[in-house]
Amino acid sequence: MPGAIHEIGGMLDLALQSLRAAVRRPVTWGPEFVQQLRFTIKICFFPLVLTSFALSFGPAGIQASNFFSLVGATDRMGGAYVIIVVRMFAPLVSAIVIAGAAGTAICADLGARKARGELDALAVLGVDPVRSLVVPRLLALVSAAFLFNIFALLAGLLGLVVVVLQNGGALGPVFATFFGNANALELQAAVLKTVVYGALIAIICCYKGMNVSGDAQGVGRAVNQAVVLAFLAIGFTDYVFSQLLLATQPELSQVRG
């Protein structure tokens, strides 16, 4: 328990240091930020789109279409997909893909640098590792999370289209129900939740990578621990965020179309 409290405190301290370094002039992390963002999009885009479509079309789409077909209300699938895609799958899939692909790569990269003594060498040269390494990766994952939520949403809606066409339904009534139930607050909450996911993943993975002990085996242990902690943080944040959102915005629980 003391070790867990120490790690949580260290992550909070790293987050505060990163925020201060991000706004302090001069801004020197721009090129590294662009490189990390390109790398994140490159390794995460295809798994993100594929997973979002598969979850939307597969378990969610098949179960929803079977239920609504029994009662002759296939057009009501649009209202269900507001919850399925916008509120649940798009943010969650974005976070899982970022943590599993980009987060592990960041942790392994920083961990290898720590094991080789590169981080200590930067400190000796007067270069702040937080400003030069952590800040661009934090901003890259936050930016990627924002973009990925939109891509996951579009891929999920594509799954809805395929499900409706497969069941011989009409797209017009389905999307009329979808937009009748959806609102700007729903999308804003999903984007905010995904951005929070991205920040948590970046801080956890950077912290574990920069505090590696030992050689290559220590790097491997740090990567495994980072993934587990990131998934736990995603689940905890999802529960707390959803409960607070529904408690403060009860209109989101009402059927609006």
Angstrom distance (rounded) from CA 34 to CA 85: 29
Tokens of 68: 């609504």
Residue 149 included in any domain: yes
Which bin fits 256, alpha (ψ -120 to 50), beta or left (φ > 0)? alpha
- Domain around 146: 44-253
Residue 34 included in any domain: no
Residue 69 included in any domain: yes
For residues 162, 163, 165 and 169, what is the CA-based torsion angle, rounded to 10 degrees? -150
Residue 8 included in any domain: no
Angstrom distance (rounded) from CA 252 to CA 247: 9
- For every one of its 257 residues, what pLDDT tens digit does the chain have, with 9 covering 90 and above? 566 788 888 889 999 998 988 888 888 888 899 999 999 999 999 999 999 998 888 777 777 777 776 666 677 777 778 888 888 889 999 999 999 999 999 999 999 888 888 888 887 887 888 888 999 999 999 999 999 999 999 998 898 888 888 877 778 888 888 887 778 888 889 999 999 999 999 999 999 998 888 777 888 888 999 999 999 999 999 999 988 988 887 777 665 55
How many Å from the N-terminal Cα to the C-terminal Cα in the chain?
A: 49
Residue 124 included in any domain: yes
**Alpha helices (runs of H) in 82-134, residue ranges in sequence order:** 90-97, 104-116, 118-124, 129
Residue 221 included in any domain: yes
The structure tokens 């996911």 sit at: 197
Contact 246, 253 (CB under 8 A): yes
pTM: 0.90
The whole-number pLDDT of residue 161 equals: 86
The whole-number pLDDT of residue 248 equals: 84
How many domains does the chain contain in total? 1
Estimate to the nearest angstrom the gap between the alpha carbon of 253 and the chain centroid.
Answer: 24
Angstrom distance (rounded) from CA 141 to CA 149: 12
Residues composing the chain: 257
H/E run at residue 49: helix 30-55
Residue 185 included in any domain: yes
Angstrom distance (rounded) from CA 99 to CA 84: 21
* DSSP-assigned letter for residue 215: S
The whole-number pLDDT of residue 250 equals: 78
Angstrom distance (rounded) from CA 57 to CA 40: 25
CA angle 116, 120, 124 (to 5 degrees): 135
Residue 16 included in any domain: no
